[in-house]
């Protein structure tokens, strides 16, 4: 009887798992973002940014958010690793694409990488979160409140996504936010949006 009761309780509290792929160029701040997310939702200590090394291959992180468990795949953004992105896209339930908002010279490179991502058929069906990171940057803050740079770059990414969608598609939800993983700006907000989007996409339809 005890074993049966324990099994029922375990089943009741078990959270449904969803996989989220974190993509973007190298040095966009993907790993720092993931470490910040874990520190917020797992109540853990975030490593010093100087001790966070670039991802070669993949990092994995897990958090619980309300009724679901999110498992993050932080995939390296170096050019030679981008050829593997499709393998993670084919298995995930949602995508986070991170852009280094402080590096104007690599915005075009980020746009090209994003164009390759949205070219995959199933991407339009997934919740998609685009994050402009490093908005704490003091010298070249690309993202400004009501700034021209912000509007221009956001619209380019929106247009790239729109070009891949037809009128008959059942789209996944889309959000674009400015964040700072180091200063903890909008990080919790972005994950809460993602969790709710996943809930609406997969659990509400169950």
Q: Which residues are part of a known binding site for GTP?
A: 24-31, 77, 133-136
Q: Is residue 22 part of a domain?
A: no
**Total number of domains constituting the chain:** 1
Cα–Cα distance between 137 and 29 in angstroms, integer? 12
Q: Is residue 122 part of a domain?
A: yes
Name the pLDDT band for 9 (thresholds 50, 70, 90).
very low
Tens-digit pLDDT profile for residues 54-100? 887 889 999 999 889 999 999 999 988 899 999 999 999 999 999 99
pLDDT for position 14: 73
Q: Is residue 192 part of a domain?
A: yes
The parent domain of residue 40 ranges over: 28-200
Q: Which residues are part of a known binding site?
A: 24-31, 55, 77, 133-136
Q: Is residue 178 part of a domain?
A: yes
What global pTM score does this model have? Answer: 0.84
Cα–Cα distance between 87 and 85 in angstroms, integer? 5
Higher pLDDT, 170 or 128: 128
138 φ/ψ angles, rounded to the nearest 5 degrees: -85, -30
Which of the residues are catalytic? 78
């Amino acid at each position: 009887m005890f074993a049966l009761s324990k099994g029922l309780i375990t089943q009741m509290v078990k959270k449904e798992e969803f996989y989220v792929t974190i993509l973007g160029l190298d040095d966009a701040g993907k790993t720092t973002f993931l470490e910040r997310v874990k520190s917020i939702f797992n109540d853990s200590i975030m490593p010093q940014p100087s001790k966070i090394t670039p991802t070669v291959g993949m990092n994995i992180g897990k958090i619980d958010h309300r009724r679901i468990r999110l498992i993050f795949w932080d995939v390296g953004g170096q050019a030679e690793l981008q050829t593997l992105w499709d393998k993670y896209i084919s298995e995930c339930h949602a995508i986070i694409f991170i852009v280094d908002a402080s590096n104007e010279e690599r915005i075009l490179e980020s746009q090209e990488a994003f164009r390759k991502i949205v070219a995959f058929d199933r991407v339009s069906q997934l919740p998609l979160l685009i994050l402009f990171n490093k908005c704490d940057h003091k010298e070249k803050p690309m993202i400004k409140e009501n700034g021209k740079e912000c509007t221009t770059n956001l619209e380019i990414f929106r247009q790239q996504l729109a070009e891949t969608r037809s009128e008959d598609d059942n789209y996944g939800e889309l959000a674009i936010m400015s964040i700072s993983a180091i200063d903890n700006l909008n990080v919790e907000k972005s994950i809460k949006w993602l969790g709710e989007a996943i809930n609406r996409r997969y659990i509400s339809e169950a």
